[in-house]
Amino acid sequence: MKKQEILPPYTCPYKGELLAGVDEVGRGPLAGDVVAAAVILDPARPIEGLADSKKLSEKKREALFDEIHECALCFAVARATVQEIDQLNILHASLLAMRRAVEQLQVQPEFVLVDGNKKPDWHYDCDTVVKGDGRVKAIAAASILAKVTRDREMVKLDRKYPGYGLAGHKGYPTRTHLQALEQLGPSPIHRRSFAPVKRLSMDFV
C-alpha cells in the first residue's frame, strides 16, 4: 500500500476576508467538461466538515453542497468544454475553467488560493497550494461544488448517451467504460484528444 503523504498545514499570506478558493474536477475522465468552482467563505457563517470532495461520501458532499450555497459569501461554477479540452489540452482547459469561475464571482476576491501547483493566467494576487482541497477550507468548498455539479451532469448525460455507464463512473476510464467505448465508439461528449478515445475515433471514422 502506498504511504499517504502528510503535508504541513498551509499558512496563507493574506489575512483579510475576501479570500477565494478555487478548484477543478474532471481532469482524468474520458468524457464530459472539466468543471471548476470558486468560493469565498463567510467567516460569520462557518461550515463544519469541509474536506477534499473525493474523501467524502456522496451523501455528505450533497449536504455540504447545499450548505455552501446557503452560507458562503459568494460562489461561482464554470467550465471548459470538451471542445476546449481537445483544442488546448486538459491542463490549460482546467486553468481556463478556474479563471472563469473566479471572474464570475459577484464579490471579487482580494486574494485567491488555487489547488495544485499551477495558477491561471490572470491579474489576481494568488498562491498555489498542493493538495489544497485537503488543507484549505475555501478550496475544499470549491472542490465540493465542482464535483457535485459535474457528477449531476454526468447522470443527466447518461440518459442522453446510454450504454456507456456515465452515471456510475462519471466518465473515468473504468473497465466498463472502456468496454462500452470498444462496442459503441465515442459519443459527442468524449474527449478525442485522450489516447483511448483518439484510437477508437480513428476506428469509427
Q: What is the CATH number of the domain that holds 69?
A: 3.30.420.10
* Average pLDDT rounded to a whole number, residues 169-178: 96
List, for residues 27-75, the tens digit of each pLDDT value: 999 999 999 999 999 999 999 999 999 999 999 999 999 999 999 999 9
Residue ranges for the known binding site for a divalent metal cation are 23-24, 115
Report residue 121 as a C-alpha cell. Answer: 493566467
Rounded alpha-carbon distances, angstroms, from residue 126 to 103, 138, 168, 189:
13, 13, 35, 33
- Are residues 35 and 67 located together in one domain of the fold? yes
Asked if residue 23 and residue 107 are part of one domain, the reply reads: yes
The annotation places the binding site at: 23-24, 115
State how many domains the chain has: 2
Summarised one tens digit per residue, pLDDT across range 126-137 is 999 999 999 999
Residue 7: per-residue pLDDT: 76
Q: How confident is the model at residue 8 (pLDDT cuts 50, 70, 90)?
A: confident
Prediction pTM value? 0.94
Its domain, for residue 181, covers 162-203
Percent of the chain clearing pLDDT 70 (strictly above): 95
Q: Is residue 141 part of a domain?
A: yes
* Residue 80: alpha-carbon gap to chain centroid: 10
Residues 111 and 175 in one domain: no
Integer Cα distance of 51 and 136 in angstroms: 8
Nearest to 126 by CA among 137, 116, 141: 116
Return the half-sphere exposure (C-beta side, CA atoms, 13 A cut-off) of residue 105: 29
Q: Are 77 and 149 in contact (CB under 8 A)?
A: yes
- The answer to whether residues 137 and 73 touch, using CB atoms and an 8 Å cutoff, is no
Alpha helices in 35-116 (DSSP H): 58-71, 82-88, 90-103
Claim to verify: residue 172 and residue 151 sit in the same structural domain: no
Task: Please report, rounded to a whole number, the percentage of residues in the chain having pLDDT higher than 90.
Answer: 90
175 in the same domain as 140? no
Residues 6 or more apart whose Cβ sits within 8 Å of residue 77: 35, 36, 37, 101, 145, 146, 149
